[in-house]
């Protein structure tokens, strides 16, 4: 350890910075892990600031996440060449040795060890080769609760982890283990803790939240269902808004849709992963539905909640996706009353069934298809926003001053903005949607506090 670094430790607490790659579930877990670093022993700083410890929560979904990880390591070392760098999370579980061999990485923690991160930081000296602590994924069979408190306006509350599905492109079951759930009692307790912080919105998150209840008390069967969960949360009067992050279409039951349409706190916003509009591709992916079921779910949502925002995930360039199959996906989505898309180019992931499937789609074709669907998404979002002009909605405003503007989201996920006004921060106002500006935000009139 250099002299300058010794002075830092003598004069102040070690600075620690966190960065999260990937999903909202990762965000909730990063926030929970970071709370172990209490302010009496550590100083929390932003990732783009000098620090003694940098923690990167990794993602395994796409190769872009892998590349970004290496970029973050370089960024950390540029800010402090002597910094101790820890990699945790999904990719750290799947490819621990590969991460340990990256120049600058000192510690790699897998699926269960990441929640004990602070116990591994007794010695912060740099290593020639990263130390790995990674369990066999079958050992990831117990539940760790998590929720975020970093944002004043919303919290991500983890209710479920792992997945028992066998989608041929997906590494998540090998990164996170079997499907398991938090107890209903503990989720209610955490939701109450969150509301005491003045947070207005909770986003329910997990790997496969529609499977909630499986493994709730270490049992394979469901002790409670996802419907039981949302009915219980809806009764918490202090909780103003609850949003469902993403739910498999085959697990979105009629009863769940019906309840959300009449609930006090659940908002009319659904995110349903589609992945392909071509049934043959869906079968190769080993998805648990075909396109007709997806259309049926979306139609039912819109029949009960015409104002609802419904988004979807799509993968382009999956092995065997011909030009004809892609055009079928495009036509399927174009005809649907869907509000936006998250588009992903298929990434070959080690240890998945899809990597050995025939019909590999060239990268340039994947990129073209991705661009086409992103264009369709922009068109769909614009059409949805236009359909809502003139309506009156409740907007929860955020706490960030973005180039002189404040932004917020309506219940049905319409993003509005106005000139910066600190009086709007973390408050819900009833507004009438008026117009769409050049950058795609919605302008409004009439602000009445709810």
What confidence tens digit (pLDDT) does each residue in 274-283 have?
A: 999 999 999 9
Q: Which of 402, 449, 446 is nearest to 424 (CA)?
A: 449
How does strand 160-161 pair with strand 180-181? antiparallel
Predicted pLDDT at 218: 63
Mean pLDDT on 394-405: 93
- Dist. CA 247–CA 228, nearest whole Å: 15
pLDDT at position 314: 98
Q: Is 395 helix (H, G, I), strand (E, B) or coil?
A: strand
pLDDT in tens, 341-365: 999 999 999 889 999 999 999 999 9
DSSP letter for 117, please: G
Judgement on whether residues 244 and 176 belong to the same structural domain of the protein: yes
Please tell me whether residues 413 and 427 are part of one structural domain.
Answer: yes
Which of residues 394 and 8 earns the better pLDDT score? 394
Map residue 188 onto helix, strand or coil.
Answer: helix
More confidently predicted of 438 and 331? 331
Q: Give yes or no for residue 164 having a pLDDT over 50.
A: yes
**128 and 235 share a domain?**
no
Q: List the beta strands (DSSP E) in 275-372.
A: 309-316, 340-345
pLDDT for res 7: 43
Do 100 and 219 share a domain, yes or no? no
Residue 219 confidence (pLDDT): 66
Instruction: Tell which residue, 163, 104, 225, 171, has the closest CA to residue 350.
Output: 171
Within a domain: 275: no
Q: What percent of the chain has pLDDT over 70?
A: 96
CATH of the domain at 128: 3.40.50.12160
Band of residue 6 on the pLDDT scale cut at 50, 70, 90: very low
How far is 182 from 159, CA to CA, in rounded Å? 6
Tokens in use for 66? 């892998």
Query: Is residue 57 in some structural domain?
Result: yes
CATH code at 179? 3.30.750.210
Instruction: Please check whether residues 232 and 148 belong to one and the same domain.
Output: yes
From residue 319, alpha-carbon distances to 286, 324, 354, 360 in Å are 13, 13, 7, 5
**Is residue 290, in this structure, part of any structural domain at all?**
no
**CATH number of the domain where residue 429 is located:** 2.40.50
Residue 217 confidence class, pLDDT cut points 50, 70, 90? low
pLDDT tens-place string over residues 31-66: 999 999 988 899 999 999 999 999 999 998 777 777
Overall domain count for the chain? 4
Rounded CA separation 77/51 (Å): 10
Q: What is the average pLDDT across 239-244? A: 96
Neighbours of 220 (CB within 10 A): 10
Q: Which domain covers residue 70, as residue numbers?
A: 3-135
Write the CA distances from 447 to 124, 236, 390, 393, integer angstroms: 52, 26, 14, 10
* pTM to 2 decimal places: 0.91
Domain CATH code at residue 307? 3.30.750.200
d(CA 402, CA 304): 35
Residues β-bridged to residue 23: none
Distance CA 450, CA 448 (A): 6
As beta bridge partners, residue 201 has: 154, 241
Q: Is residue 345 part of a domain?
A: yes
Domain membership of residue 430 (yes or no) is: yes
Residue 9 has pLDDT above 60, yes or no: no
Is residue 11 scored above 50 in pLDDT?
no
Angle 306-310-313 (CA atoms, 0-180°, nearest 5)? 160
- Given 119, 135, 151, the domain boundary residue is 135
Domain boundary among 77, 102, 135: 135
- Confidence at residue 220, expressed as pLDDT on a 0 to 100 scale: 67
pLDDT reported for residue 176: 94
pLDDT digits over 65-100, tens only? 778 899 999 999 999 999 999 999 999 999 999 999
Give me the pLDDT at residue 115, please: 94
Three-state SS for 210-263 is HHCCECCCCCCCECCCHHHHHHHHHCCCCCCEEEECCCCHHHCCHHHHHHHHHC
148 and 228, same structural domain?
yes
Where residue 440 falls (left for φ over 0; alpha for ψ -120 to 50; beta otherwise) is left
Q: Is residue 274 part of a domain?
A: no
Inside any domain, residue 320 = yes
Final residue of a structural domain among 81, 109, 135: 135
Mean pLDDT of 172-190: 94
Asked whether 367 and 326 are in contact (CB, 8 A), the reply is no
**22 and 42 share one domain:** yes
pLDDT at residue 437 in the model:
93
- Same domain (yes/no): 102, 177: no
165 φψ region: left (φ > 0), alpha (ψ -120 to 50), beta (else): beta
Span 262-312, pLDDT tens digits: 999 999 999 999 999 999 999 999 999 999 999 999 999 999 999 999 999
Do 10 and 120 lie in a common domain? yes
Average pLDDT of the chain is 92
Of the candidates 105, 109, 110, 108, the one whose C-alpha atom is nearest the C-alpha of residue 128 is 105
If asked whether residues 11 and 103 sit together in one domain, one would say: yes
Residues 173 and 123 in one domain: no
C-beta atoms surrounding 360 within 10 Å = 15
Strand 131-133 to 107-109 pairing: parallel
Please compute the mean of the pLDDT values over residues 396-400 and round it to a whole number: 92
**pLDDT (average), residues 138-161:** 88
368 located within any domain: yes
| Burial class of 186 by CB neighbour count within 10 A (0 to 12, 13 to 18, 19+) | middle
Distance (Å, rounded) from C-alpha 313 to C-alpha 344?
Answer: 8
pLDDT for res 127: 83
Q: What is the largest CA-CA distance in the chain?
A: 68
42 and 88 co-located in one domain: yes
């Amino acid at each position: 350890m250099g002299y300058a670094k010794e002075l830092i430790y003598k004069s102040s607490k070690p600075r620690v910075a966190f960065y999260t790659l990937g999903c909202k579930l990762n965000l909730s877990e990063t926030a929970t892990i970071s709370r172990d670093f209490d302010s009496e022993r550590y100083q929390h700083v932003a990732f783009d600031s000098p620090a003694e410890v940098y923690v990167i929560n990794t993602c395994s979904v796409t190769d872009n996440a892998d590349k970004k990880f290496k970029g973050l390591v370089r960024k950390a070392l540029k800010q402090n060449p002597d910094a101790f760098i820890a990699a945790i999370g999904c990719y750290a579980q799947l490819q621990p040795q590969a991460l340990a061999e990256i120049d600058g990485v000192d510690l790699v923690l897998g699926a269960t060890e990441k929640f004990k991160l602070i116990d591994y930081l007794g010695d912060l000296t740099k290593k020639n080769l990263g130390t790995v602590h990674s369990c066999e994924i079958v050992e990831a069979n117990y539940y760790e609760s998590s929720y975020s408190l970093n944002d004043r306006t919303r919290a991500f509350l983890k209710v479920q982890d792992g997945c028992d599905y066998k989608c041929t492109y997906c590494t998540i079951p090998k990164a996170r283990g079997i499907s398991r759930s938090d107890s209903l009692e503990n989720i209610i307790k955490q939701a109450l803790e969150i509301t005491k912080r003045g947070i207005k919105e909770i986003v329910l998150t997990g790997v496969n939240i529609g499977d909630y209840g499986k493994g709730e008390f270490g049992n394979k069967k469901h002790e409670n269902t996802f419907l039981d969960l949302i009915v219980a949360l809806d009764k918490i009067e202090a909780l103003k808004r609850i949003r469902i992050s993403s739910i498999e279409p085959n697990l979105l039951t009629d009863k769940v849709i019906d309840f959300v349409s009449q609930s006090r706190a659940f908002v009319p916003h659904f995110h349903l992963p589609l992945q392909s509009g071509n049934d043959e591709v869906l079968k190769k992916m080993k998805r648990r539905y075909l396109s007709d079921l997806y259309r049926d779910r979306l139609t039912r949502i819109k029949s009960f909640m015409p104002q609802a925002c419904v988004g979807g995930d799509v993968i382009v360039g999956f092995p065997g996706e011909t030009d004809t199959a892609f055009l079928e996906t495009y036509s399927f989505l174009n005809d649907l009353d869907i509000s936006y898309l998250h588009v992903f180019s298929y990434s070959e992931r080690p240890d998945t069934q899809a990597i050995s499937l025939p019909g590999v789609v060239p990268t340039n074709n994947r990129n073209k298809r991705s661009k086409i669907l992103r264009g369709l998404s922009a068109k769909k979002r614009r059409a949805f926003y236009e359909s809502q002009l003139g309506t009156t909605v409740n907007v929860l405003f955020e706490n960030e001053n973005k180039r002189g503007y404040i932004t917020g989201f309506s219940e049905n996920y319409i993003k509005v903005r106005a000139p910066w006004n600190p009086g709007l921060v973390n408050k819900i106002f009833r507004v009438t949607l008026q117009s769409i500006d050049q950058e795609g935000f919605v302008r409004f009139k009439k602000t009445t506090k709810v």
